[in-house]
């Protein structure tokens, strides 16, 4: 059986230039009462939870490594920005969100009917 995820899309900016990234290519942004982390690297945008799944490190204060993992500033665990996989092998999982750049602006998708939507 094919499972298709449904997303509720939230506009976060008119365009990429409107998003104020730090020198590390990361920033946090408020979307529908949640703070999330947005990453800009190699002309693409990705998004994930702001807090590290290990012990709550603020991921927008970390950095993006050469393999395009986000690296947590607290204990340096690494997570793929594409799928949230814990590429340094500690067994955690980072929630990521789809990002779409449309003519009308930049949109972040939150899964509908997902328990995560109640968490911050």
Enumerate binding residues for ligand FES (CB under 6 A).
52, 54-57, 72, 74-75, 77
Cα–Cα dist 13/29, whole Å: 10
Of the CA atoms within 13 Å of residue 60, those in its CB half-sphere come to 19
Nearer to ligand FES, 47 or 52 (CB): 52
In whole angstroms, how close is the CB of 23 to ligand FES at the nearest point?
20
In whole angstroms, how close is the CB of 119 to ligand FES at the nearest point?
16
CA angle 89, 90, 93 (to 5 degrees): 95
Cα–Cα dist 28/76, whole Å: 19
Of the CA atoms within 13 Å of residue 91, those in its CB half-sphere come to 0
Nearer to ligand FES, 65 or 100 (CB): 65
In whole angstroms, how close is the CB of 7 to ligand FES at the nearest point?
26
In whole angstroms, how close is the CB of 88 to ligand FES at the nearest point?
9
Nearer to ligand FES, 17 or 89 (CB): 89
Cα–Cα dist 39/67, whole Å: 13
Nearer to ligand FES, 19 or 58 (CB): 58
């Amino acid at each position: 059986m094919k499972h298709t995820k449904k997303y509720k899309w939230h506009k976060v900016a008119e365009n990429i230039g409107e998003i104020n990234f730090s020198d590390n290519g990361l920033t946090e942004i408020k979307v529908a009462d949640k703070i999330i982390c947005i990453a800009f690297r190699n002309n693409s945008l990705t998004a994930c939870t702001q807090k590290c799944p290990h012990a709550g490190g603020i991921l927008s204060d970390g950095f993006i490594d050469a393999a395009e993992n986000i690296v947590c500033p607290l204990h340096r665990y690494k997570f793929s920005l594409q799928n949230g996989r814990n590429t340094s092998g500690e067994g955690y999982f980072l929630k990521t969100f789809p990002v779409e750049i449309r003519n009308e602006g930049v949109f972040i998708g939150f899964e509908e009917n997902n328990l995560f939507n109640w968490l911050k």
